[in-house]
Structures are given as structure tokens and as C-alpha cells.
Structure 1
Amino acid sequence: MSPGDPPTFPTARRGALFDQLLALFLDQGFVHLTLDDIAARLHCSKSTLYTLARSKDDLVRAVTVHFFRAATEDVECAVIPGAPARERIASYLAAVGRALGAASPQFMADLNGFAPAREVYETNTRIASRRVQQLIADGVAAGEFRDVHAAFAAELAATMMVSIQQGRVHEHTGLDDAAAYRELAAILTAGINA
């Protein structure tokens, strides 16, 4: 490390800071918070925050990545290998809903209104759509689902997932993201049963 480089924290310390940031953002959103506000709430210095990211925008994006990385791990853990495809799809989409259920409406509004964070959400929605497609294809191959076009069924799910992500489902139905994912799981798996 050269004298001008910012200090780094051990991985555990950085992880703890990201967890604290995530808890703060999920609870209160982030648009209205300044770096001074964030530092005060985490009981750390702004220079500590600068070891995590170069700006507030970079920090928000990094925390969003941290959120979706942890959520992806939790969601995948909810899918029991070898379980029937219907159960795996329902578990997967319900777990997505639970992960998003931890987010306050303010966080979701801020996420959708801030392009770098929204891009992370959109990327994760595309990844989730491909995973659903894989689960549907597995169910068709196993004879658990009628012979549906897996890519079409996944595209149908993806369209709804994007609508959920963009807040349109909430606007039109009043369902929060978590409830919308549970409904999507129920409708999707019932519609493709063999």
C-alpha cells in the first residue's frame, strides 16, 4: 500500500459495515441521506465510508449489490434439490418475495428512482427469470408440467417480475413486491401443471 492509498479494513469489518448500511437503507431508503448522515448513524467517520466507495452514488450501488448477492444466496438455499419442480419454483419465487419483503417502501422507491441501483435490480431480475426458465424446463422434462414452452413461460414470469420491480404491480393492485412474488408463484405453477 502506498502512502496515498485509503486504508482497508479486514473483510469482516467491511462486511459488517455493508450489513449496517444495508439495514439502514432497507429501513429508511437512501436518497435523503447524506454521507454525513450515514456516518453519524453508523457511528463511523466519512473517511471510513470512503474506504468502501468513492462517492455516495458508488456506495449506494455497492450496498445494492451486497443486498442482491445475499438475497440470491438465501433464495437459492430455499430451493431444495430433487424436490418436485412445482415446489422448487414456488420456493424460489416465495424466497424472492421474502428477500424483497425486508425492504421498506422508501427503499424500493429510491431503488427504482436511482439508475445505478435500478440497473442492479434489473440485472438480478433477468437472472431470476433465467432461473425460473430453467426450473420450468426441468419440470417439463420430468413430466411434472404439461409440455409448455419453457422460454415463453419464463418470459411471462419475467414480464411480471419487471412489472413488480418497476412498481407497476403495486400501483395497480396495492400488492407489495413480496406479496406479488407469492401470487406469481401460485399462478405460474398452477397454470403449467401436467
Structure 2
Amino acid sequence: MTTLDTRSTRGPARRAELLDELVALVLAEGFAAFTLDELARRLRCSKSTLYGLAASKEQLVVAVVKRFFQRATAAVEQRAAVPDDHRERISAYLLAVSEQLQPASPAFFADVAAFAPAREIYERNTRSAAARVQQFVADGLAAGTIRPVHASFVGAAVASVMGAIHRGEITAVTGLDDAAAYRELADLVVAGTAPR
């Protein structure tokens, strides 16, 4: 009985650990060039262990990208919950997005852009992040802590810039990586909503 209990809790824990190792590997090196054999070798596990996580490489990539964004979202929300001031909350949120994206390599972003299921996960997270910034602006307007601005416009502008960051357009024009671009966006939104 005790052995079974240990195994049943160790299985999910090991799967979570493997997913976390995969996240770190994929963020550093991307995923397109890897085969399942190479991933198993790098993680020192069997291919059947990887098949326990997902039925194919494509499904494994989706699981890994989802895990990355789930963990990133939780960390970002935790950081944004700390400040009381709405402008500080916007800044904390966007800077936390920047920090979460910092470990992601150009290879990761290129592979995400080229693989539709992963790209959709990134796009969905980008839309959610823009909606959160819009909500912070609306809350600040209601509380009178930011200058009168059009919250929907700010949300749409943030979404547009985030989309351009995601598509690599900001990097192409400015040379900024995604994390640096989010830091610049945070500064821009916070300055733009400062009380006069």
C-alpha cells in the first residue's frame, strides 16, 4: 500500500519535473530541431517516458509551451498584485512579463512563430496580458489615480505593441529583444498615464 502511494505521487511529480526541464531546454534552444530521441537523451529518460507526457512531439511542444505560459502568468499576476498604486501595478505587470520572457532565446521565439499551435498559445497570452493592462487602466481611472485616458484605447495600443513584439517586428526595427521591448512598453504606459 505504501509503495503504491509513493509511486502514484511520484509519477505526477516526475512528469511535472520533466516538463519543467523541457521548458528550460526549449526556452534556451527552441524545439524545431529536436527529435524525441534527442530530447530523451538530453533529459536522461526513455522515449516512452516522453510519450507518457504527450502522444507526439507536436503535442509535447504544445504541453511545454502551455506550461511555460501558465507558470509565467502566475508569476506575473503575483507581482502585479503587490502594488496598491495602479500605475505601479501596470509597471509591475509589464516588467514581470519582461522578466518571464528574459530566458527565452531567439530560437524559441522563431520556433513558436513557425509552429501554429504554439503561436496561438503565445497570441492568446498576449491578448490576455493586454486585457489585464486595460483593466488596470480602467481601475486607475475609477480610483482617480491616473490621468483621464481612454482605457480601451490604451488596451488596444498595448495589444498592438505586444502583437508587434510577438511577431518580431519590434526586434526588426529596434534591435530590442522581447523582454527589453516589454520594459520599454511599461515605461511608455506608465509615463502616459501619469497625473498631470
When the two structures are superposed, what TM-score results if normalisation uses the length of structure 2? Answer: 0.92
Give 2:118's aligned residue: 117
Q: Using the alignment, how far apart are the partners of 1:124 and 1:91 within structure 2?
A: 17
CA distance in 1, matches of 2:115, 2:191: 35
Runs of 4+ in 1 over 3 A off after TM superposition: none
Question: Structure 1 counterpart of 2:120, which letter?
Answer: E
Which structure is higher in helix share? 2
| SS state at 2:53 partner | coil
Q: TM-score with structure 1 length normalisation?
A: 0.93
1:1-194 correspondence runs (5 A): 10-81=11-82, 83-194=84-195
Aligned Cα root-mean-square deviation (Å): 1.4
User: How many Å apart are 1:80 and its aligned residue?
Assistant: 3.4
* CA deviation string 1:31-85 (max 9, x = no partner): 0000111011001111111111111000001100000000001101111345101
SS at match of 2:84: coil
1:172 alignment partner AA: V
Distance in 2 between the 1:44 and 1:82 partners? 43
Give the Cα separation in 2 of the matches to 1:21 and 1:97.
21
Structure 2: runs of 5+ lacking an equivalent:
1-7
1:95-136 CA-to-partner distances (Å, cap 9, x unmatched) read 001111110111111111111100000000011011101100
* Equivalent-residue separation in structure 2 for 1:76 and 1:24 (angstroms): 24
SS of equivalent residue, structure 1 residue 10 = helix
140-149 vs 75-84, which moves further: 75-84
Amino acid at match of 1:56: K
Question: How many pairs are equivalent?
Answer: 188
**Deviations 1:145-169 (Å, cap 9, x if unpaired)?**
1221111101100100010011110
Structure 1 stretches of 5 or more lacking a match?
1-6
Distance 1:141 1:54 in 2: 48
Aligned mates of 1:12, 1:160 — CA distance in 2: 38
